[in-house]
């Protein structure tokens, strides 16, 4: 898709290039009506300005729907791989180039191939503790007028995965599905997928399908908790799981479940596999796991969809908590409260009005942005 201006933005589309490092990056600040643009920095080989804009627009509505004082933004750095030393140089060159805009117009966060370490590098380069969230827990700062230090809350605490699990629980409740014993598939077993698994297992759900980039596994009676815990703690790949039935990537989509959670890459549900999927609901843990057209097809079939900008909002709510100086406990309580409230609001309205949940969510988000704009102009 191309970048086109509309009533929401984008306000800034910036291309950054460092000729010495040959570092190329993009920053799109889509809309700042509700507050500074909030969105992560992804580092991939093929990232483009168009992709960054698409994600920034998602953040505009995600933050509005989560009822946070943030606008929408996203950043991308073209990264073909290299040493940690080179990666740090890329991050800090990018940070210095946009430092005049942060944190007043843009607040960074982790995304694909960036985490707490990269956020520490980022704030070191900008010289502003508030310029990024998702920082290490031991990166603290005593702010003027405050008695206690404010510390980072890394996304490795599992905020996004917890929000996904909470979304699944509330959606299951809406469909009168008992989350205890519900058969669940999770596609993608990184930070989001592993924590979604952890919290769903604690709720009593039965995860029967897991997949990462290389391996898909079917466990009819649910995964062995001890073995999966070891996989997660030692950051192993699913191929190291001893047990279950190794299946093809295609077969993963054919096994019937109560809840399907795509937590991997963009457009992972597509024309090739959409008609093979048999599930009662899809909770979109990853950003844009399918096109809106395919979403509508599932809705017409009676499959309940919890859209990405609702289901995976735990990460940005965590960012808000860190920005406010909350501790991890208060952060999790905030995610629990906001996710439950928003998922119920959207799904109940969706059912009552017979509208696609994404359409309902968009209406709510747009009304919040427009109301704020009208109130301040």
Q: What is the pLDDT of residues 238-269, one digit of tens each?
A: 999 998 999 999 999 999 999 999 999 889 99
Distances in Å between the Cα of 32 and the Cα atoms of 11, 26, 104, 176, 373 are 8, 18, 10, 39, 10
pLDDT at 376: 85
**Both tokens of residue 246?**
């190794």
Do 136 and 169 sit in the same domain of this protein? no
| Residue 335 maps to a domain | no
pLDDT at 244: 93
Strand extents, DSSP E, the chain: 12-18, 23-31, 37-38, 41-44, 71-78, 106-107, 140-142, 149-151, 183-187, 206-211, 216-218, 245-247, 259-262, 281-283, 304-306
| Residue 135 maps to a domain | yes
The answer on pLDDT for 148 being more than 80 is no
Q: Is the peptide bond before 10 cis (omega within 30 degrees of 0)?
A: yes
Domain-ending residue, one of 152, 170, 201: 152
pLDDT at 143: 61
Report the phi/psi class of residue 188: left, alpha or beta, with left for phi > 0 and alpha for psi in -120 to 50.
left
pLDDT at 58: 87
The answer on pLDDT for 146 being more than 90 is no
Q: Which of 136-150, 272-286, 315-329, 361-375 has the lowest mean pLDDT?
A: 136-150
Q: Are 92 and 10 in contact (CB under 8 A)?
A: no
Q: Which of 131-135, 139-143, 163-167, 289-293 has the lowest mean pLDDT?
A: 139-143
pLDDT at 367: 95
Do 259 and 171 sit in the same domain of this protein? yes
Do 27 and 92 sit in the same domain of this protein? yes
Q: How confident is the model at residue 96 (pLDDT cuts 50, 70, 90)?
A: very high
CATH number for the domain harbouring residue 286: 3.40.50.720
Global pTM? 0.86
Q: Which of 162, 152, 156 is nearest to 325 (CA)?
A: 152
Of 15, 20, 62, 74, which one is the catalytic site residue? 74
DSSP state of 190: S
Do 141 and 66 sit in the same domain of this protein? yes
| Residue 328 maps to a domain | no
Do 175 and 145 sit in the same domain of this protein? no
Q: Which of 15-24, 167-176, 299-308, 317-326 has the lowest mean pLDDT?
A: 317-326
Question: Could you tell me which residues are beta bridge partners of residue 151?
Answer: 140
Q: What is the pLDDT of residues 50-82, one digit of tens each?
A: 999 999 998 999 999 999 999 999 999 999 999
Q: Compute the distance between CA of residue 298 and CA of residue 181 in angstroms, rounded to an integer.
A: 24
59-65-71-76 Cα dihedral, nearest 10 degrees = -10
Do 125 and 193 sit in the same domain of this protein? no
pLDDT at 212: 95
Q: Average pLDDT in the 124-147 region?
A: 83
Q: Compute how many other C-beta atoms are within 10 angstroms of the C-beta atom of residue 120.
A: 20
| Residue 377 maps to a domain | no
The answer on pLDDT for 191 being more than 90 is no
The residue segments making up the domain with residue 241 are 159-314+344-361
Q: Compute the distance between CA of residue 329 and CA of residue 252 in angstroms, rounded to an integer.
A: 36
Do 133 and 180 sit in the same domain of this protein? no
Q: Which of 214, 209, 345, 349 is nearest to 279 (CA)?
A: 209
Active site annotation includes 296: no
SS3 of 40-95: the string is CEEEECCCCHHHHHHHHHHHHHHHHHCCCCCEEEEEEEECCCCCHHHHHHHHHHHH
């Amino acid at each position: 898709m191309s970048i086109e201006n509309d009533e929401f933005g984008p306000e800034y589309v910036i291309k950054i290039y460092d000729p010495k490092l040959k570092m190329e990056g993009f920053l799109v600040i889509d809309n700042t009506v509700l507050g500074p643009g909030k969105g992560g920095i992804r580092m991939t080989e093929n990232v483009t300005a168009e992709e960054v804009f698409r994600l920034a627009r998602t953040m505009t509505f995600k933050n509005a729907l989560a009822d946070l004082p943030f606008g929408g933004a996203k950043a991308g750095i073209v990264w073909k791989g290299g040493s940690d030393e080179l990666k740090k140089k890329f991050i800090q060159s990018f940070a210095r180039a946009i430092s005049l805009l942060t944190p007043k117009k843009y607040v960074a966060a982790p995304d694909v191939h960036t985490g707490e370490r990269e956020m520490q590098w980022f704030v070191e380069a900008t010289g502003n503790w508030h310029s990024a969230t998702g920082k290490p827990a031991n990166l603290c700062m005593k702010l003027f007028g405050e008695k206690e230090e404010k510390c980072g809350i890394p996304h490795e605490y599992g905020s996004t995965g917890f929000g996904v699990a909470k979304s699944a629980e509330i959606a299951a409740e809406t469909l009168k599905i008992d989350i205890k014993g519900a058969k669940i598939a999770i596609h993608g077993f990184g930070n989001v997928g592993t924590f979604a698994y952890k919290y769903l297992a604690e709720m009593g759900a039965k995860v029967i399908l897991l997949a990462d980039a290389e391996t898909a596994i079917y466990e009819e009676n649910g995964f062995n908790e001890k073995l999966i815990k070891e996989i997660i703690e030692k950051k192993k790949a699913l191929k190291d799981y001893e047990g279950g039935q190794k299946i093809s990537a295609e077969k993963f989509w054919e096994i019937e479940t109560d809840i399907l959670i795509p937590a991997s890459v963009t457009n992972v549900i597509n024309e090739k596999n959409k008609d093979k999927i048999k599930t009662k609901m899809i909770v979109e843990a990853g950003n844009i796991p399918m096109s809106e057209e395919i979403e509508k097809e599932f809705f017409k079939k009676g499959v309940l969809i919890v859209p990405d900008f609702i289901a995976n909002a735990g990460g940005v709510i965590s960012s808000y908590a860190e920005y406010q100086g909350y501790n991890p406990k208060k952060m999790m309580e905030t995610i629990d409260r906001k996710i439950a409230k928003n998922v119920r609001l959207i799904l109940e309205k969706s059912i009552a009005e017979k509208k696609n949940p994404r359409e309902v969510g968009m209406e709510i988000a747009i009304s919040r942005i427009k109301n704020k704009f009208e109130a301040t102009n």
